[in-house]
Amino acid sequence: MNTYSSTRHRSEETEEDSREGSTCGECESGTLVHNSDRHELVCNECGLVVEEESIDYGPEWRAFNHSERQERSRVGAPTTELMHDRGLTTKIDWRDKDANGRTIQPEQRSRMQRLRKWQQRIRTGDAGERNLKQALSEISRMSSALGVPHSVREVASVIYQKALDADLIRGRSIEGVATASLYAACRQENIPRSLDELAEVSRVDRKEIGRTYRHISQELDLVMKPVDPTQYLPRFCSQLDVDGEIRQLAKEILETTVASGVHSGKSPTGCAAAAIYLAAQRCNREITQRDVADVAQVTVVTIRNRYQEQVEVVDEDLQSA
């Protein structure tokens, strides 16, 4: 059932509920039916019209498919946290055309240009709104570069607005807080993105992102679960173009490593990359430490250290089994 039909159906149910207890004046029957086409209240037993010209809560136009309903609808786009005004204000189009698609006369174009300018100024009246507008634009840019879902962008926008309301922006750059908010949103939504990946698309360095992230997470009491290294496996395996046998074995290695607690306090990307390298070695595949290090954006020394730790854990697990 579409939105219009469900809304109208609820309106009719509300009207019928308000008629409970009413009876027909002719046969004293309580089965009164609302005729939505003729807007009449009719007795279901004798057919007497009890009430006519009732209020129609639906639109005055008719639509027979989704496209017609969208064209005739008078509602705008839904609210979004990705805009500083949540998309509720009016936006003057940049095209010099009227509502019917006709080109505006030359003498009216200068007037429309002035209206656009003043409308832009009115939308961002104070410094806080200008700050929020710049930050949300930066979050959208970085999210597009990272390829994160739309829900993560919404969560990042909410986190930044909370930081702005709590006056956590003072003394810090807008880009730094926006990047830290996006990283926090990725952590909350279980989207595997490392600080190094955020630093590549951001205009601030990795150290500032980490420092700002720790500050806003503590001040806003953000609940963050430890990053699961297995979340990075699908992406790393796809970039390395490994087969399903290596993927399955790397997943089992990581599960054993996580169960033993060896991964605690260590980079999840390094653990995931080392598990892929160990799985490739056990399956006799030619993958070098440099290959997995480049994909995970860690050093070869990190791969080597995590590899040695995982070998010990896996061998102990096999011996105990």
Whole-angstrom distance, CA of residue 272 vs CA of residue 19: 65
How many angstroms separate the Cα of 214 from the Cα of each of 11, 155, 162?
Answer: 50, 17, 15
Contacts of 176 (CB under 8 A, 6+ apart): 202, 204, 208, 209, 212
Phi first, then psi: give them for residue 212, nearest 5 degrees: -70, -40
How many angstroms separate the Cα of 131 from the Cα of each of 74, 85, 135, 214, 275?
Answer: 32, 12, 6, 21, 43
The reply to whether 27 sits in an annotated binding site is yes
Whole-angstrom distance, CA of residue 99 vs CA of residue 76: 15
Give the HSE-up count for residue 113: Cα atoms under 13 Å, Cβ half-sphere. 6
Residue with tokens 């009207």, as numbered in its chain: 15
Structural contact between residues 230 and 255, judged by C-beta atoms closer than 8 angstroms? yes
Cβ density class 131-150: b for 16+ within 10 Å, e for less: bbeebbebbbebbeebebee
Beta bridge partners of 97: 103
Structural contact between residues 307 and 270, judged by C-beta atoms closer than 8 angstroms? no
Residue with tokens 């962008």, as numbered in its chain: 153
The reply to whether 24 sits in an annotated binding site is yes
Whole-angstrom distance, CA of residue 45 vs CA of residue 198: 70
3-state DSSP call for residue 42? strand
Extract the annotated binding site: 24, 27, 43, 46
Extract the annotated binding site for Zn(2+): 24, 27, 43, 46
